[in-house]
């Protein structure tokens, strides 16, 4: 669908950890999962959001003047927002000179997003290209498929980063075009998966099995969160699953806490209990487990 | 902190000596120069005077062989001793106090030195130095512009140089040059050649300096023999005898082996930088290509191993680091506040026949750089599309070490730039880059940098109808006052008029300075090693080279682009405020106008984000400066062209400008090179590169692009491969040069707090690297504020 549109939060250039080579990663807004450690919380909601950084506010009240819904009122340090009245139009963010309010999510057609991706074509070289990420790109199949098609037409390598929690049909359609999937596996235990992501993993694992029958160009990606999914035995089971499906490459992504600030700016609670970042020795140990299974295992994207 | 890899004990000791010896000022050269002038001035022609003075220096200056070294020769009497050049700049005693006491870039001045300056040097040279002649000749308007910080003048304390050695000194010795000179003299037709006298005197001078350099080497040979006699250690005794043998053979003859090749170059280097204090000292150019035949021959005949070649190279490296740039004062110090003397060795590239120039010697030199971790010599890699990825990755690995070395050039683009200027294809391929980023036909071109030019100051004056708001002086052309500039087109037209006006003032001054050097300060030694000075019987400083270029280096391209973008959007498009209102806001330095400042800063398309709304103004500005300068003739037969590099001038130029429309506060630093304003680029390195590639760089003689990466971005093979792809992509887009700081802002902030912990922290400044501790606080802050490309 040529005019398929989606909410894009960012098109990240010089992205070197979302697939091979230098890539541009298109982040789509909206995700069926709610992983407690999510480091892109701005891409969870399917709606435009406004972040607030009151420490940047200079009290010029430009936002009040700009708001067409009367949703803002002067406050002690920064203007207060009446969420019921706010329509998320972003006029306040547009008006704020101090970048104390920023709008997250811009509705773009696939063609518009691709024009941005195409600008960096000279950098992609033999390996790089475009990655769709999010959020969950396969929750927006029309946009995603159209962008993949446009990229293929220009001989730009294509990659989709998915959580797998999508209707099989969406994934099947993407598999016809997309050259590489980055497929996230959070937990193999259903109850644990529900506890930490808010959703069952049955569909995710089923989709993975079906996808692996169509293509082997899949890199499994496992966020390693201490105390939650970092048991050597659990990692071994993921490795065995990969072997069983004929997939050779697994990436272990160490949990990091740098996204905490984003939660505050979004007014969200950071619900993950205090977990440490996994030390590199632990990551190496987990990697070794996978290597011994004959897999191409790596730490990081 | 310090990584020591392959250095052996000898090299480690010499390196330590080079690093631990504090720079001193030596009065020896000034004294010898004065003696020579007292003896010869007025009795012989000027070229002959300069040659006899050179001879006097070479026959009498102190010769010193440092303990353990294999390559010999110092400019001063000891390592890190910098001479003065009173014939160019006669320092006052106050200058000496400043040089001695200043916190950064100081040189110890002894009481004895001070006394000699007072009793001998000043009485002879005061009022006679080139600097005196220059300031005497400049018009009041030129002086006003100079003081306002519109432009700087390179040649008021340092002589033209800005050139590089080609392969001729590995094919010919001084005796061969003497034969060429004799033939050129014999070919003069005194009855028909109106310039016969000038030619003969110039050639006679060249002949004298060839003998002088041989004599200098002979003195080193004699010293080595003398030391050998007294040397108890057998091994060292043999080394000293070898040094004597080498110095008896080169520079009189062309070198026969690797050791002689290095010593040959270094004698020539010392000749050039002792004759005058050439800006950008001198440079061996394509060192790997020149040395490769000697290296292979040595390996074949068993006289050399990889290790012994490495040791000789490392000894050679230390010799450069022993020679700090001569002391600068005043504005010259502000525009180039560093000990670095800008010898910038080229590695890789292509051969004269156009084939891949990378050899094992290229990789060896990269290993040397990584081992040595020295400020001097500077190094760069010339990356051609013909070079293998292995070479680019090997360079990237050294870059990742975080010293800012080597910088990276687009060799194919350099050739194209030289071809556009009219060089032959072979001369273009033998060319490369020197100083910071400047292109030149090595061994065949005088490409002289005349001074920096402050575009942003000119915009400030444009916004005030030709008056400098800092001083209230009307120094600009008559253009309409702010109230009468009604569109972006009118503003750009006024800006163009002002640029043309100030370029005229600058060039009028340069033209006189060029003639002062041509008449009074010939450089017969530099002329011997530069084609076609012998053939033409003309001096390097008088248009004798095969090609002659003069450059004006423009500073603040990122700042000016953001200023124009802000003016266009907020004044003429959105009409947020009128130009007069904006002037009021700026003259208040944003006091009471925080909302307006943030609007200008945050709500304006900025250069460096691949945003055409901003980038169109870099193109407009480029056309204005290019058309104002490119192609204008110089009095000795050269051509003016443009370059974009700052050294440290962006700090000085910023200090003379009030608040600007890009949201910059008064007297803050400007952007450097063609890099975006510090912090304005928010979309990653590919967006910066896309923006920079919109400049038609082939029409320049060099541009400079700085990038700062947090070390994690370059981690692992992925990071290294991505860096290689990034470099290749910029060059595919016809970028000229890119260089990298690989150090986190946190580390730099910590280094500011605890300098004692970071004594050997080296960072990339502009076209060179320097110790972080050597930088002024302003420059340190500027580097910290550059956008750090993070991991994504």
Strand bridging mode A129-133 / A23-28: parallel
Minimal Cα–Cα distance from B785 to chain A, Å?
18
Q: Is B694 an interface residue toward A (CB < 8 Å)?
A: no
- Residue B2: predicted pLDDT: 40
Minimal Cα–Cα distance from B344 to chain A, Å?
28
Residue B44 has pLDDT above 60, yes or no: yes
Q: Which residue of B has its CA nearest to A126?
A: B725
| Residue A162 region by backbone torsions, left for phi larger than 0, else alpha for psi between -120 and 50, else beta | beta
Q: CB–CB of B733 and A12 under 8 A? A: no
Mean local confidence (pLDDT), B749-773 = 85
Residue B595 has pLDDT above 60, yes or no: yes
- Residue A126: predicted pLDDT: 87
Q: Which residue of A has its CA nearest to B726?
A: A123
Q: CB–CB of B684 and A12 under 8 A? A: yes
Q: How do the pLDDT tens digits run along chain A, 301 residues long? A: 668 899 999 999 999 989 999 999 999 999 999 999 998 999 999 999 998 888 899 999 999 999 999 999 988 878 888 889 998 889 999 999 999 999 999 999 999 999 999 999 999 988 999 999 999 999 999 999 999 999 999 999 999 999 999 999 999 999 999 999 999 999 999 999 999 999 999 999 999 999 999 999 999 999 999 999 999 999 999 999 999 999 999 999 999 887 888 888 888 889 888 889 999 999 999 999 999 999 999 998 7
Q: Rounded to whole angstroms, what are the CA distances from B152 to B148, B450, B643, B647, B673?
A: 10, 8, 14, 12, 16
Q: Is A123 an interface residue toward B (CB < 8 Å)?
A: yes
- Residue B400: predicted pLDDT: 94
Residue with tokens 């095969």: B546
- Of B473, B472, B479, the residue nearest B499 (C-alpha): B479
Cβ contact B329:B643 at 8 Å:
no
Write out chain A residues lying below 8 Å of B727, CB-based: none
Tell me the ipTM for this assembly: 0.93
Write out chain A residues lying below 8 Å of B603, CB-based: 97
Q: CB–CB of B792 and A58 under 8 A? A: no
Distance CA B496, CA B467 (A): 15
Cβ contact B362:B393 at 8 Å:
no
Q: Please write the tens of the pLDDT for every residue from B489-546.
A: 999 999 999 999 999 999 999 999 999 999 999 999 999 999 999 999 999 999 999 9
Q: Is A41 an interface residue toward B (CB < 8 Å)?
A: no
Q: Is the dihedral of CA B127, B132, B136, B140 positive or negative?
A: negative
* Alpha helices in chain A, H assignment, sequence order: 62-66, 91-95, 110-119, 121-124, 141-153, 168-175, 190-197, 202-214, 232-245, 260-266, 280-292
Write out chain B residues lying below 8 Å of A99, CB-based: 598, 602
- Residue A1: predicted pLDDT: 67
Query: C-alpha angle with apex B176: B173 to B178, nearest 5 degrees?
Result: 110
Residue with tokens 């008449």: B519
Q: Is B717 an interface residue toward A (CB < 8 Å)?
A: no
Q: Within 13 A of B55's CA, how many CA atoms are on the CB side?
A: 18
Sequence-distant (≥ 6) Cβ neighbours of residue B370 within 8 angstroms:
B5, B397, B398, B401
Q: Is A12 an interface residue toward B (CB < 8 Å)?
A: yes
Confidence of residue B3 (pLDDT cuts 50, 70, 90): very low
Q: Which residue of B has its CA nearest to A120?
A: B686
Cβ contact A152:A158 at 8 Å:
yes
- Residue B452: predicted pLDDT: 97
Considering CB atoms only, which of A22, A62, A119 is closest to B725? Answer: A22
Cis peptide bond prior to B406, omega within 30° of 0: yes
Q: Which residue of A has its CA nearest to B734?
A: A122
- Residue B332: predicted pLDDT: 86
- Residue B80: predicted pLDDT: 97
Put simply, the chain A residues between 235 and 254 with a CB less than 8 A from any chain B CB are none
Considering CB atoms only, which of B684, B733, B789 is closest to A122? Answer: B733
Q: CB–CB of B602 and A15 under 8 A? A: no
Q: Is B687 an interface residue toward A (CB < 8 Å)?
A: yes
Write out chain B residues lying below 8 Å of A18, CB-based: 792
Minimal Cα–Cα distance from B776 to chain A, Å?
30
Residue B710 has pLDDT above 60, yes or no: yes
Minimal Cα–Cα distance from A16 to chain B, Å?
7
Task: Estimate to the nearest angstrom the gap between the alpha carbon of B304 and the chain centroid.
Answer: 33
Q: Please write the tens of the pLDDT for every residue from B238-274.
A: 999 999 999 999 999 999 999 999 999 999 999 999 9
Write out chain B residues lying below 8 Å of A15, CB-based: 792
- Residue B791: predicted pLDDT: 57
Q: CB–CB of B686 and A13 under 8 A? A: yes
Distance CA B315, CA A150 (A): 57
- Residue A75: predicted pLDDT: 84
- What percentage of chain B exceeds 90 in pLDDT? 90
Cβ contact A130:A147 at 8 Å:
yes
Considering CB atoms only, which of B595, B685, B716 is closest to A60? Answer: B595
Q: Which residue of A has its CA nearest to B693?
A: A122
- Residue B663: predicted pLDDT: 97
φ, ψ dihedrals at A109, nearest 5°: -80, 160
Write out chain B residues lying below 8 Å of A12, CB-based: 684, 792
**Cβ-based neighbour number of residue B652 at 10 Å:** 24
Minimal Cα–Cα distance from A93 to chain B, Å?
11
Residue B413 has pLDDT above 70, yes or no: yes
Confidence of residue B765 (pLDDT cuts 50, 70, 90): confident
Q: Is B389 an interface residue toward A (CB < 8 Å)?
A: no
- Of B424, B330, B325, B418, the residue nearest B376 (C-alpha): B325
Q: Is the dihedral of CA A8, A14, A18, A23 positive or negative?
A: positive
Looking at the annotation, which residues of B are catalytic? 436, 438
Q: Is A98 an interface residue toward B (CB < 8 Å)?
A: yes
Considering CB atoms only, which of B594, B601, B792 is closest to A14? Answer: B792
- Of B683, B709, B704, the residue nearest B692 (C-alpha): B704
Considering CB atoms only, which of A16, A17, A98 is closest to B598? Answer: A98
Q: Please write the tens of the pLDDT for every residue from B359-373.
A: 999 999 999 999 999
- What percentage of chain B exceeds 70 in pLDDT? 99
Write out chain A residues lying below 8 Å of B735, CB-based: none
Best mutation target, B574, B585, B595, B713, to test chain A (most A CBs within 10 A)? B595
- Residue B404: predicted pLDDT: 86
Cis peptide bond prior to B237, omega within 30° of 0: no
- Residue A210: predicted pLDDT: 98
Q: Is B732 an interface residue toward A (CB < 8 Å)?
A: yes
Q: Which residue of A has its CA nearest to B732?
A: A122
Q: Please write the tens of the pLDDT for every residue from A135-144.
A: 999 999 999 9
Considering CB atoms only, which of B595, B683, B725 is closest to A13? Answer: B683
Write out chain B residues lying below 8 Å of A16, CB-based: 713, 718-719, 722, 791-792
Q: Is B598 an interface residue toward A (CB < 8 Å)?
A: yes
Residue B1 has pLDDT above 80, yes or no: no
Minimal Cα–Cα distance from A99 to chain B, Å?
7
Q: CB–CB of A22 and B722 under 8 A? A: yes
Q: Please write the tens of the pLDDT for every residue from A175-205.
A: 999 999 999 999 999 999 999 999 999 999 9
Put simply, the chain A residues between 15 and 34 with a CB less than 8 A from any chain B CB are 15-18, 21-22, 25
Write out chain A residues lying below 8 Å of B687, CB-based: 13
Write out chain A residues lying below 8 Å of B596, CB-based: 97
* Local structure of residue A272 (DSSP, 8 states): S
Write out chain B residues lying below 8 Å of A300, CB-based: 716, 718
């Amino acid at each position: 669908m040529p005019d398929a549109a989606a909410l894009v939060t960012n098109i990240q250039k010089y992205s070197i950890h979302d697939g091979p080579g230098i890539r541009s990663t298109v982040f789509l807004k909206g995700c069926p999962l709610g992983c407690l450690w999510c480091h892109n919380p701005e891409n969870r909601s399917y709606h435009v959001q406004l972040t607030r950084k009151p420490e940047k506010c200079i009290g010029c009240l430009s936002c009040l003047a700009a708001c067409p819904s009367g949703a803002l009122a002067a406050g002690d340090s920064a203007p207060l927002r009446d969420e019921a009245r706010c329509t998320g139009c972003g006029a306040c963010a547009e008006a704020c000179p101090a970048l104390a309010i920023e709008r997250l999510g811009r509705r773009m057609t696939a063609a518009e997003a691709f024009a941005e991706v195409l600008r960096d074509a000279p950098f992609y070289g033999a390996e790089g290209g475009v990655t769709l990420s999010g959020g969950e790109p396969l929750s927006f199949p029309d946009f995603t498929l159209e962008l993949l098609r446009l990229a293929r037409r220009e001989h730009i390598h294509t990659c989709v980063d998915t959580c797998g929690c999508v209707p099989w049909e969406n994934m099947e359609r993407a598999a016809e075009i997309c050259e590489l999937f980055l497929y996230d596996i959070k937990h193999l235990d259903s109850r644990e998966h529900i506890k930490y992501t808010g959703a069952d993993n049955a569909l995710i694992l089923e989709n993975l099995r079906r996808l692996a029958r169509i293509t082997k160009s899949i890199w499994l990606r496992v966020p390693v969160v201490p105390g939650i999914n970092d048991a050597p035995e659990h990692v071994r089971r993921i490795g065995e699953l990969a072997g069983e499906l004929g997939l050779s490459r697994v990436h272990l992504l160490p949990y990091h806490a740098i996204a905490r600030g984003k939660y505050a700016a979004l007014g969200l609670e950071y619900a993950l209990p205090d977990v440490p970042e996994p030390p590199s020795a632990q990551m190496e140990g987990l990697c070794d487990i996978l290597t011994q299974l004959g897999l191409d295992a790596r730490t990081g994207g | 902190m310090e990584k020591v890899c392959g250095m052996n004990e000898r090299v480690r000791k010499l390196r330590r000596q080079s690093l631990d010896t504090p720079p001193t000022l030596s009065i020896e050269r000034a004294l010898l120069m004065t003696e020579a002038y007292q003896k010869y001035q007025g009795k012989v022609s000027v070229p002959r005077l300069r040659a006899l003075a050179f001879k006097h220096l070479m026959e009498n200056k102190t010769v010193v062989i440092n303990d353990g070294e294999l390559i010999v020769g110092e400019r001063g009497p000891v390592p890190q001793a910098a001479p003065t050049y009173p014939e160019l700049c006669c320092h006052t005693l106050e200058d000496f106090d400043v040089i001695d006491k200043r916190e950064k870039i100081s040189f110890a001045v002894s009481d004895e030195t001070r006394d000699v300056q007072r009793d001998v040097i000043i009485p002879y040279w005061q009022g006679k130095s080139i600097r005196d002649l220059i300031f005497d000749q400049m018009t009041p308007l030129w002086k006003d512009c100079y003081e306002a910080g519109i432009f700087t003048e390179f040649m008021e304390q340092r002589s033209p140089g800005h050139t590089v050695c080609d392969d001729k000194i590995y094919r010919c010795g001084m005796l061969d040059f003497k034969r060429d000179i004799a033939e050129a003299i014999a070919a003069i037709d005194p009855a028909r050649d109106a310039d016969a006298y000038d030619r003969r005197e110039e050639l006679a001078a060249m002949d004298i300096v060839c003998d002088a350099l041989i004599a200098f080497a002979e003195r080193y040979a004699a010293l080595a023999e003398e030391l050998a006699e007294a040397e108890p250690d057998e091994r060292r005794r043999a080394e000293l005898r070898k040094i004597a043998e080498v110095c008896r053979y080169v520079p009189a003859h062309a070198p026969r082996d690797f050791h002689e090749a290095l010593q040959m170059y270094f004698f020539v280097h010392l000749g050039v930088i002792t004759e005058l204090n050439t800006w950008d000292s001198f440079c061996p150019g394509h060192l790997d290509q020149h040395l490769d035949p000697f290296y292979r021959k040595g390996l074949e005949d068993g006289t050399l191993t990889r290790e012994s070649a490495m040791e000789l190279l490392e000894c050679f490296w230390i010799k450069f680091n022993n020679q700090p740039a001569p002391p600068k004062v005043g504005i010259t110090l502000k525009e180039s506040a560093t000990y670095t003397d800008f010898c910038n060795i080229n590695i890789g590239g292509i051969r004269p026949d156009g084939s891949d120039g990378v050899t094992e010697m290229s990789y060896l030199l990269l290993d040397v750089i990584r081992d040595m971790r020295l400020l001097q010599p500077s190094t760069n890699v010339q990356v051609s599309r013909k070079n293998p990825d292995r070479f680019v990755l090997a360079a990237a690995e050294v870059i990742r070490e975080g010293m800012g070395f080597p910088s990276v050039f687009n060799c194919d683009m350099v050739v194209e730039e030289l071809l556009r200027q009219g060089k032959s294809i072979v001369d273009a391929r033998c060319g490369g880059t020197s100083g910071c980023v400047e292109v030149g036909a090595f061994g065949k071109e005088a490409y002289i940098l005349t001074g920096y030019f402050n575009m942003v100051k000119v915009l400030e004056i444009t916004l005030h109808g030709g008056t400098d708001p800092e001083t209230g002086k009307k120094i600009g052309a008559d253009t309409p006052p702010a109230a009468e500039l009604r569109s972006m087109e009118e503003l750009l037209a006024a800006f163009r008029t002002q640029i043309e006006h100030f370029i005229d003032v600058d060039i009028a001054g340069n033209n006189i300075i060029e003639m002062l050097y041509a008449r009074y300060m010939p450089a017969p030694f530099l002329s011997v090693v530069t084609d076609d000075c012998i053939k033409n019987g003309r001096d390097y400083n008088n248009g004798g080279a095969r090609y002659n270029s003069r450059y004006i280096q423009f500073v603040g391209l990122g700042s000016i682009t953001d200023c124009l973008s802000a003016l266009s959007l907020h004044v003429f498009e959105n009409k947020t405020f009128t130009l007069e209102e904006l002037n009021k806001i700026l003259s208040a330095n944003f006091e009471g106008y925080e909302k307006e400042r943030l609007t200008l800063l945050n709500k304006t398309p900025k250069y460096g984000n691949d945003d055409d709304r901003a980038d169109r103004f870099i193109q407009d500005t480029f056309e204005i400066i290019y058309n104002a300068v490119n192609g204008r003739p110089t009095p000795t037969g050269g051509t003016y062209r443009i370059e974009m590099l700052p050294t440290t001038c962006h700090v000085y130029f910023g200090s003379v400008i009030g608040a600007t429309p890009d949201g910059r506060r008064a007297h803050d630093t400007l952007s450097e090179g063609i890099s975006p304003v510090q912090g304005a680029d928010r979309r990653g390195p590919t967006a910066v590169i896309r923006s920079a590639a919109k400049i038609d760089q082939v029409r320049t003689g060099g541009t400079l692009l700085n990038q700062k990466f947090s070390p994690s971005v370059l981690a692992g093979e992925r990071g290294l491969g991505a860096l290689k792809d990034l470099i290749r992509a910029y060059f595919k887009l016809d970028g000229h040069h890119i260089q990298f700081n690989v150090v986190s802002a946190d580390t730099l902030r910590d280094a500011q707090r605890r300098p004692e912990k970071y004594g050997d922290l080296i960072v990339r400044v502009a076209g060179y690297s320097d110790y972080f501790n050597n930088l002024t606080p302003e420059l340190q802050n500027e580097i910290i504020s550059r956008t750090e490309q993070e991991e994504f």
